[in-house]
Structure 1
Amino acid sequence: MTRSRKAEFLSDVHQDNANSFPQWNPRETNCVALPGRPVRGREAELARIEQALDDAANARGGVLLVEGARGSGRSRLLAETARRAAERGFDVVSAEANELARLVPLAPILAALGEPQPVPGEADHSFAGLDDRWSRQLAHVRGRLARRIVKRPLAVLLDDLQWADPVTLLALRILPAQLAGQPLLWMLCRRTDEREPYVAQLYDQLLAAGVATPLRLQPLTAPAADEMAADLLGGAKPAPEVNALVGAADGNPAVLTELIEGLVDENVVVCSDGTARLVHGNASALLPQRFRSLMRGRIDALSPSTARMLEVAAVLGRSWLPDDVVEMLGTSTAELLPCFQEALAARLLMSTSDTMVFRHDLVWRSITESIPPAVCAALHRQAARMLLDRGSPVVSVAVHLARGARPHDVEAVAVLKNAATEVMTSSPRTAVEFASRALELTDRDGSTRPALTAVLVEAHTRAGALGRAVAVAANAGPETPAPALHRSLSTALLLRGEAREALAVSEKALAAASVTPETREALEINRLAALAALDDDALGSEVRRCTGDSPGVLTVLATARWQRGEFAEGLRLARAAARAAEEGAPFPWHLDPRIALAAFLVQSRREDEARQVITVLDGDIGRSGLDVLASVPHLLMAQLHLAAGRVEEAASRAHAALAEPVTTHTPIAHAVLAAVALRRGDLVAAAEHAHHLDGVRPVHWRAQTRWVRTQLTATADADAGFSLALLAEEPAAAAWHVRTALVAGEADRAAAVLRRIAAADHCPAADHARGVRDGDRSALERAVRDHVDEWARASAAEDLGVLLTPDDRNAAVERLDQALTAYTAAGAERDAARVRRRLRGLGVRRRHWRTADRPESGWDSLTNTELSVASLVTQGLTNKQVATQMFLSPHTVGFHLRQIFRKLGVHSRTELIRFGPNAGRTR
């Protein structure tokens, strides 16, 4: 709170002293001080204050010496002491010293006692040689204090003693000793960032005399700062991204107050559902004006030389070498030593073994942004020249040229291009910044522009901005040499799933006469990858005929074989590609052979090996800054969890993948989420995710869409095509297609599916499909035995149980129980419900609920079955429709609905929807 608000608070505590506060210094904004808000992180200090109040109340006197940096909470502690003293029956008087009143002897003490203040004279009233006038005044003050403590205990609270006059300091050295053993508590406060030797001497003497207790206000601990942030947010729990900003205050209550209240006032933080979140989730753009002003005030409070040193240092970065600042300022380390020490004491900097660091990113940025742009650019140019002359790494120079170079600076453009190329494999986003800036500085017809454009397209592609990469390439103009740029463009198109466009770009570039051998090889691999992705038999045959042992070629060949159902050969080639890459053979970064290998291992249900490959791949993608591939490990793990029946983990990983840049791999997330929704019986959610698969490329996803649609409608698909690659991902898909075709009376379609999978080396799926079509018990038993996928095994067991039902009831029940157990393990609630219905038809009832400790009312009181019913009802389904989807009778659905109404305290379907929209959804 501001000092005027603090005065109001203290006035409420003790009305007699409303006029004892001089005008507060408006430059300083103090910590939280609204009545009722707790003091955070000062538990030890408050305990000492309580003890001092006890001692004073029992006529043992006492002196508390409080000291802390600007904004550390001294005034808040004074206010809290005044409140607690007043509650104990103390007479509380308080005031502060003032810079403008330093020539008035005894000004703060007289103000606290309500005494008239003398007119300042010309004499220098020092510790020595006091005249009789001030001796009499001291005696008068001592008498006033003695008369007041006769009535009740007295607390004298004095702040900002760093500005006190010498007579006041002498009085505070004498009076506590003269009034020792009386019900009198002195609380003396000073700021440590104002160097006043006399007040420091006073503190030392009082401590040495053993009559005072020190209270040194250190920065708040991280937990205390978090608690204070929550208080400032009205009790809302700060979200992680908000908590991350709390460190900018460095434990300073005033800075923290201005930061949080500034974020709220400027609508950067909003509080909803008891949580405070950033509006845009982006901390990099957050610098509230109040925070900037406070930081500017902290800088202005320093000496001019220190402020200038910090501004130059801020241009060099958050961390910097002292030698660089010395050189920039054209001085010596010895001359700057006081500046370094002052900045460290002000807790703006930290020192490591060889560098200096600004304490927090926002502190650094607030200083940088306070420098006029033209001046800042000039300082960046000066820093770049210094580093160039020194022979520093090109990236270090480029950081400054990106912010300070002038247009048409040929040397700057060359440095930025080289730097972009150098950081491409570790930080594509930085490469984008360097290459973009270099293009801005280059003439439209400059000779370096084509090469810069190719670098920028690749950087955008690696960073995941695929649309931007394609747009930059399109705007390059026909004069741009094709091969280098088209290599990067074809990669971006492949990652967007635009295989046909990538093929056209690659073939055009390969026809150019200027293509280098290295670029030709990369373009040829991209062309083969595009051919394989098109899933065209004629084009695919060309891929299968190609030869080569490079990791890139082997990866494309492995993918082509896998898509044709040659799973063993595809896995062998993928292993060979990964092995070659491990031995150091180069490969296109977007066709990392470990991606294909991990995918094939997942689809082969080799979980342990797949997990090892994914873990290594994830680490390498992170270290390379390949945001465009950041979703791949999440997607692979989502498929792995789904295959193992861990639907919660699968959904979590799929949602994490959707938070990353959209690529040709993204549809996997929607396929996983559709499968999870189907297993949970949430057909609306499944349809939503299936919609995201419509029209995506490459064409393989059309098969995934048909597969989801088939499960949603339980009818045969109108498209006779069937993807063999889908067979590996969904081993029960072939049997499902055959089953739905037979139900629709389309035996020819069922036969077409069987012919299609005849070439696939995936015996369990073929046995499963054949067993369904032919009613072959032996084939289904082999499928139950050989299926590795949990859900596919359950499906085969269910089909076998249905086949056995007319002739062998006991065997049918055994197989259906096996299917029920497997479906339950796979999280397939909807399928498990269907099997329970089949068992009921055989006179066998299996429990479909679990005993759990639940409350008696509210959404948490509902069972899983009740939640599923509520979910479907809130989507607008009738009881009969719910019964059909959950494989229950309408009567049973009605029973569950009555239980839901009772537990939620509602009386109709309309009230249910209004009571908790979407609350019953069980995604």
Structure 2
Amino acid sequence: MNLYGRFREQLVIGQRIARTQRGQSNLILLRGPKGYGKTVLVDRIIRLARRASFDVASGRIIHYKRLLLAASLMAVSTHPQTISGSPGQAVAAPGPDLLGEALGAVLPGRRQGAARPVLIALDDVAWGDPDILAALRWLPAAPSNRPVLWLLSGTGGPTPHVLSSHPDAVCLTLGPLRRPDALRMAAGRLGGSPDVPTESLITACGGHPALLGAVLDELAACVGYRVRGGIAGLASTALPPHVVTTLLRADPRLSGPTLDLLRLVAAGQIPPQMSRLIRLPDGRAVSALGSVREATEAGVLVLDGDRLRFRHPLLNQAADLLRCERSADDGERGLLTATEQTITRLVATGLTNRQIASRVNLSPHTVNFHLRKIFQKLGVSSRVELVGTRLHLLRPAFDTDPTPPAHESRQAHAG
């Protein structure tokens, strides 16, 4: 389901709110990866429910689990049961309204409006939790003095048999933005239709709403674009490096170990064949394969036959820039000044002295002076050797090629 430019979810939510107002309990299951807009949609549902005179209990499920347990206990106690060996045995009389009591505890001050419908919106649901699975068996059949609209939200989603046991339940699945919607979102943020190079940056986000927003914000913060004639284009011939690295840094689906693996993939320091990765020693294989799975599920890496590659060239560039930053942070801290570190990173991206000078607001002559000092401090004699030194300041655990980079024979100069 797409959050932008589509109205299906609004129609479904409106129908569920109306049914609950008429006294029918309802269940909405909201699922999707991190950063795909679940919180935005939950907030929208809460606002709609409050406008419809609902009481609302909302928050992380860890703080409201009692409501689920109370509802499931009531449903179990009021449904006819057949005890083995005693067919047709009578069921005990219904007990108190446990759900109503639990709601009274979390909605103090609303007791006078006991007849009002209530929205229970619970986030961070772990669908495999036994208590959640038990509650889902009975929701929304749990009896209560108040009509209840249940909204459960979490990453992943419940198993299909849970949904089949509730034919009246609604499952909303959030997915990537379609390309036209991503371009509209970008045009709204930038104030103009993206040109072709800017479209490439948008495409690299893979339709992830939160990631796209973070990248556009970073581009705007560094004034990395200009709008002319209604077209938003890059301010220079190349994307600013920190905008490119945002493609990975701001992706909420990627853990630290996965970012480390992506750096190694970009550097060619792990075998690109999955058949070789699987033969690594146990600990390294499990770590690497787990990170590969996370990166492929996020759409950053793809499996092309047996080979591993980045889905988009800018993602490869982002991983390479992060690797350079890691090498600089770990190997050059305290040795190079902040300006020298910046110039070294820009050299690693392939920029000329004149291009570097425009980035750091220095003259080409001053950049050349700094480069000579950098060469002297690091004991290198060429730009290629400088980049090679930075790459090998740390030897990652997955490095399978111990051969050092070939040194350039010509003498150092920054031209």
* Structure-2-length-normalised TM-score: 0.61
Equivalent residues of 2:385, 2:408 under 8 A apart: no
1:300 to 225, 234, 255: 255
Tell me, yes or no, if structure 1 residue 95 matches structure 2 residue 59.
yes
Q: Relative to structure 1, is the Cα distance of residues 165 and 444 closer, same or farther in structure 2, using a 3 angstrom cutoff?
A: closer
Equivalent residues of 2:50, 2:56 under 8 A apart: yes
Tell me, yes or no, if structure 1 residue 231 matches structure 2 residue 188.
yes
Equivalent residues of 1:262, 1:289 under 8 A apart: no
Match of 2:101 in 1: 140
Equivalent residues of 2:25, 2:141 under 8 A apart: no
1:266 to 218, 222, 225: 222
1-structure distance, mates of 2:330, 2:282: 20
Q: Relative to structure 1, is the Cα distance of residues 368 and 105 closer, same or farther in structure 2, using a 3 angstrom cutoff?
A: same
The CA deviation string for residues 357-400 of structure 1, in whole angstroms up to 9 with x for no partner, is 223333333333323227999xxxxxxxxxxxxxxxxxxxxxxx
Q: Relative to structure 1, is the Cα distance of residues 316 and 136 closer, same or farther in structure 2, using a 3 angstrom cutoff?
A: farther
Equivalent residues of 1:95, 1:108 under 8 A apart: no
What's the offset of the Cα at 1:247? 1.2
What's the offset of the Cα at 1:76? 1.0
1:342 to 284, 291, 294: 294
2-structure distance, mates of 1:218, 1:239: 25
2-structure distance, mates of 1:106, 1:443: 73
The CA deviation string for residues 843-876 of structure 1, in whole angstroms up to 9 with x for no partner, is xxxxxxxxxxxxxxxxxxxxxxxxxxxxxxxxxx
Match of 1:357 in 2: 309
Tell me, yes or no, if structure 1 residue 278 matches structure 2 residue 234.
yes
Q: Report the structure, 1 or 2, having the larger helix content.
A: 1
Q: Could you list the runs of 5+ residues in structure 2 that have no partner in the other structure?
A: 71-95, 332-383, 391-404
Q: Secondary structure at the match of 2:236?
A: coil
Equivalent residues of 1:65, 1:214 under 8 A apart: yes
1-structure distance, mates of 2:278, 2:329: 18
Give the number of the structure whose alpha-carbon radius of gyration is greater.
1
Q: Relative to structure 1, is the Cα distance of residues 224 and 406 closer, same or farther in structure 2, using a 3 angstrom cutoff?
A: closer
Match of 1:221 in 2: 178
Equivalent residues of 1:65, 1:213 under 8 A apart: yes
Tell me, yes or no, if structure 1 residue 287 matches structure 2 residue 239.
no
Equivalent residues of 2:277, 2:285 under 8 A apart: no
Q: Relative to structure 1, is the Cα distance of residues 272 and 166 closer, same or farther in structure 2, using a 3 angstrom cutoff?
A: farther
2-structure distance, mates of 1:54, 1:43: 17
**How many residues are treated as equivalent by the alignment?**
317
2-structure distance, mates of 1:40, 1:330: 46
One-letter code of the match for 2:186? A
Q: Secondary structure at the match of 1:250?
A: coil
One-letter code of the match for 1:212? A
Q: Relative to structure 1, is the Cα distance of residues 96 and 315 closer, same or farther in structure 2, using a 3 angstrom cutoff?
A: same
Match of 1:240 in 2: 196
Equivalent residues of 2:28, 2:151 under 8 A apart: yes
1:155 to 119, 140, 161: 119
Q: Report the structure, 1 or 2, having the larger strand content.
A: 2
Q: Secondary structure at the match of 2:171?
A: strand
The CA deviation string for residues 659-718 of structure 1, in whole angstroms up to 9 with x for no partner, is xxxxxxxxxxxxxxxxxxxxxxxxxxxxxxxxxxxxxxxxxxxxxxxxxxxxxxxxxxxx
One-letter code of the match for 1:277? G
Sequence identity of aligned pairs in percent?
Answer: 26
Q: Could you list the runs of 5+ residues in structure 1 that have no partner in the other structure?
A: 1-37, 111-134, 193-198, 378-400, 408-436, 446-470, 476-923
Q: Relative to structure 1, is the Cα distance of residues 88 and 310 closer, same or farther in structure 2, using a 3 angstrom cutoff?
A: same
Q: How does 1:714-863 map to 2 (within 5 A)?
A: none
What's the offset of the Cα at 1:39? 4.6
Tell me, yes or no, if structure 1 residue 368 matches structure 2 residue 320.
yes
One-letter code of the match for 2:312? H
Q: Relative to structure 1, is the Cα distance of residues 149 and 253 closer, same or farther in structure 2, using a 3 angstrom cutoff?
A: farther
1-structure distance, mates of 2:289, 2:54: 48
1-structure distance, mates of 2:100, 2:147: 19
2-structure distance, mates of 1:280, 1:157: 46
Instruction: Identify which range, 88-97 or 221-230, moves more after superposition.
Output: 88-97
What's the offset of the Cα at 1:260? 0.5
The CA deviation string for residues 91-133 of structure 1, in whole angstroms up to 9 with x for no partner, is 34321235xx6xx8538999xxxxxxxxxxxxxxxxxxxxxxx
Equivalent residues of 2:27, 2:169 under 8 A apart: yes
What's the offset of the Cα at 1:251? 1.0
Q: Relative to structure 1, is the Cα distance of residues 243 and 181 closer, same or farther in structure 2, using a 3 angstrom cutoff?
A: farther
What's the offset of the Cα at 1:75? 0.7
Match of 1:442 in 2: 409
* Structure-1-length-normalised TM-score: 0.30
Match of 1:54 in 2: 18
2:210 to 254, 259, 274: 254
2-structure distance, mates of 1:164, 1:149: 35
2-structure distance, mates of 1:230, 1:148: 49
What's the offset of the Cα at 1:164? 10
2-structure distance, mates of 1:158, 1:54: 20
Q: Secondary structure at the match of 1:369?
A: helix
- RMSD value, Cα: 4.5
What's the offset of the Cα at 1:245? 1.0
Q: How does 1:437-836 map to 2 (within 5 A)?
A: 441-444=408-411
